[in-house]
Amino acid sequence: MPPDGALHSTLRTLIDFAQPRGDGASRLRLSFGAPSRVLVARTVAEVLPVLEAVEALAREGHWCVGYLRYEAAAAFDPAFAVHAADGPLAWFGVHDEALPWPEVQNNASPVPTVDWQDSLSRADFDQRMQAIHRAIANGELYQLNYTAPSHAGFHGDAQDWFLALRQAQPDGYTAFIDTGEEQVLSVSPELFFDWHDDRILTRPMKGTAPRGATPAEDEALAQRLRTVPKERAENVMIVDLIRNDLSRVARPFSVRVPRLFHTEALPTVWQMTSDVEALVREGTTLADVFGALFPCGSITGAPKVSAMRMIRELEPEARGVYCGAVGVVQPGGHATFNVPIRTVTLRGSEARCGIGSGITADAQADAEWEEWRHKRAFLSHAKRPVNPPFELLETLALAAGELRDAPAHLARMANAARHFGYAWNEALAAACLHRLQAQHTAGMWRVRLLLDAQGTPRAEAFAMEAPPARVQLQLADRAFDEAHSDFTRFKTTRRAHYEAFAPTAAGVFDTLLWNRDGEVTECTRGNIALLLDGRWVTPPLRCGLLNGIGRANRVRSGQLAEAVVRVDDLPRVQALAFVNSLRGWLDADLNVPQK
């Protein structure tokens, strides 16, 4: 039996895993206090005994939560080439009971700024790409998953940071594990395997595309991901590898692929997954399952032995928990593990996070480098450890019993619900609006339609005065850092980033915002129109702004054209207007500081 590690009364483990066989709504969301015992493998010879102990204790009624490092692969096949491990090859906390998810603390302070430093230059990346392409051309392998770490200093609360990362990268298979020696903050979207009774499911994730700025662009990018030959080939190669791996523990003829090329929407990227499942042979153990599947082929490449050999040659340091496995074995033996991508490992004040992609014969360096940038974006989105639950929001004008632009507002809320994974029933939302409409048949009203995560709509109305003919705007005194946030692209009740720019001077109606690149974006409560060089323009969505209904109507009609307007261009602007669906078109004045 491997030695028990030292216990610590403050250790806490959090598990928030999707139920991969369910409807997506139910989750395994639990916390655990200090473990009653700890199972640790620091040598290759100790890995299998740890897994055997984990399975035995789970079948006795305990919860076992932990991880395997990528370098634990050598325990299952000596042909798997890996670096020397930088920590325990396997670590599992054993718990006698599961506890409720911790209460949300709404007064938590922002996560400290984390300045990530890449370990790989673009020139070195291009050289590695050329080496991989040579190996593919020489027939040494078909695909290689190449990765590199970023490093940062972190001075804050590790659990708070995990909760912020989980908020930026919701759903999936997220876990926080504090071993005392290190903290693992995994917000991985990828399932490694789910094994329950005699059924085992794997869901490799290969294929990535960025999210779009508009619903149409977003869907076009997802459709392209599903159909581009390079992405499909990358996915199929790994599916075939995992089918072969799974056959080592499967009953004859039971391995099948019920779903292929499925696109999943994450906040910053689209990912493509496929399902491979089987019925396991009688007598199969947890160690057998890991022996057949670990490491997951999606983070090695194919063939696995050749790919891992080249990974060790190209990557100068151990991957660690990244690309290993993080998971939970429930009482009775139900085991669910993720592939820990989108995962931060923290030791003291030193943080590490790996990013990578699958390289095939037709992979282009520019495209892969850009893909890495999109995958890394979840790190910069983690701003606060815990925020209050938010609702989706639409604000409509109700004048003389008529709702303005109601179909467009409902369509935009439906798109936001899809993005954030909120339940959506358009008939319920429309009925909610119509009930409020029937109660306010005269006068001018500001209507707020809200939707919670469970899909329950509610509407409220507030008396509204006629809008002024002309308004005064002030220019933001600093860049709007949240220009590309999900909570800017979509309208929700989470508006602290806007409220920080609320006007402070008397008589000022709103603040005109601009992004880090010096591009004008929008106001805090509406869009902006500018008369520049003889034509009315509005900033394009890629600058970072909400696609307002009033703005969209005027772009569609041709009244406004999209064009980038920089802060430096403002002295040349001949006229301005504040635009939204609630108030319409309001002529505006802006005091531009003179240079």
Q: Which residues belong to the active site? A: 190, 206
Question: What is the bridge-based pairing of β-strands 510-514 and 470-475?
Answer: parallel
Report residue 541: phi and psi, to 5°: -60, -30
d(CA 591, CA 569): 13
**Angstrom distance (rounded) from CA 341 to CA 441:** 54
558 torsion bin: left (phi>0), alpha (psi -120 to 50), beta (else):
left
Nearest in space to 444 (alpha carbons), one of 464, 460, 461? 464
d(CA 383, CA 377): 12
Helix (H, G, I), strand (E, B) or coil at 313: helix
| Ramachandran area for residue 49 (φ above 0: left; ψ -120 to 50: alpha; else beta) | alpha
Residues across the chain:
595
Structure tokens at 53: 């102990």
Q: CA–CA separation, 97 vs 92, rounded Å?
A: 15
Could you please report the per-residue DSSP string of 13-40?
A: EEEEEE-TTS-SS-EEEEEE-S-SEEEE
CA distance 96 to 102: 18
Angle between helices 229-246 and 286-293 (to 10 degrees): 140
> How many of the other CB atoms lie within 10 Å of CB of 506?
6
How many Å apart are CA 491 and CA 449, to the nearest integer? 11
Angle at 151 between CA 116 and CA 347, to 5 degrees: 125
Helix (H, G, I), strand (E, B) or coil at 378: helix
CA distance to 420, 445, 550, per residue, from 487 (Å)? 10, 25, 19
Gap between the Cα atoms of 37 and 95, Å rounded = 7
